[in-house]
Amino acid sequence: MGSSRAFERFPRFESVSLTSTIKDPTPEPPCVGRMRLAREIDSIAETQDNPRVLSIACGHLREAELSVAVREGRARMTALDQDPESIARVARDYASFNVTTIVGTVVDVLRRRLKVRDVALAYAAGLYDYLDTELAAALTEALFRMLAPQGPLLIANFTPDTRDAAFMEACMDWHLIYRDERQLVELTRRI
């Protein structure tokens, strides 16, 4: 998660809770977001035996090496990304961890081609900023279907008050979809 990306936690049948990042747009280095994810994985692994954790659009899955549970083989990771090179790198770097790698897309998830069930924790970081509302809502519904009861879904999204938005657009040509709290909650409407 990069600077001021909202980080939502949608526990099943509970109200939406927000972390401080949605209230504080202070830029946050990506490593902090990875540590946040690693903490979530560790926290699930403390309460469940060998939980299945699903990372959608995993990139290089760097949070895996920050998670004590993953390093100790107490969490089963499933990592999906559309980029075969990223997936090959995850498979190579984390061969000693319990990580299943999948080259796949959001469309594969929507079309139920991803045969993963009873997911204790699912998350997507660096993906929703690129998805329009319809696609993001459909993906949220599809990910919920894969969760075990009470399994949380974590969604990271840059917020409209991101201070470096202009820089990202002008200098990096990154045209992201920014979402506030209400817009993120709206993505759960199909659930």
Ligand X SMILES: C[S@@+](CC[C@H](N)C(=O)[O-])C[C@H]1O[C@@H](n2cnc3c(N)ncnc32)[C@H](O)[C@@H]1O
CB under 6 A: which stretch of 18-26, 82-90, 160-168, 177-185 binds ligand X? 82-90
**Cβ(144)–Cβ(79) below 8 Å:** no
Question: Distance between CA 84 and CA 20 in Å, rounded?
Answer: 34
CB under 6 A: which stretch of 3-11, 46-54, 119-127, 165-173 binds ligand X? 119-127
By CB under 6 A, residue 105 contacts ligand X: yes
Q: Which two tokens stand for residue 171?
A: 């200098």
Shorter beta-carbon distance to ligand X: residue 125 or 146: 125
Tell me the per-residue interface mask from 17 to 56 with ligand X, x by CB under 6 A, - otherwise. Answer: ----------------------------------------
Three-state SS annotation for 34-90: HHHHHHHHHHHHHHCCCCEEEEECCCCCCHHHHCHHHHCCCCEEEEEECCHHHHHHH
By CB under 6 A, residue 106 contacts ligand X: yes
Q: In terms of residues, how long is the chain?
A: 191
By CB under 6 A, residue 126 contacts ligand X: yes
Shorter beta-carbon distance to ligand X: residue 42 or 63: 63
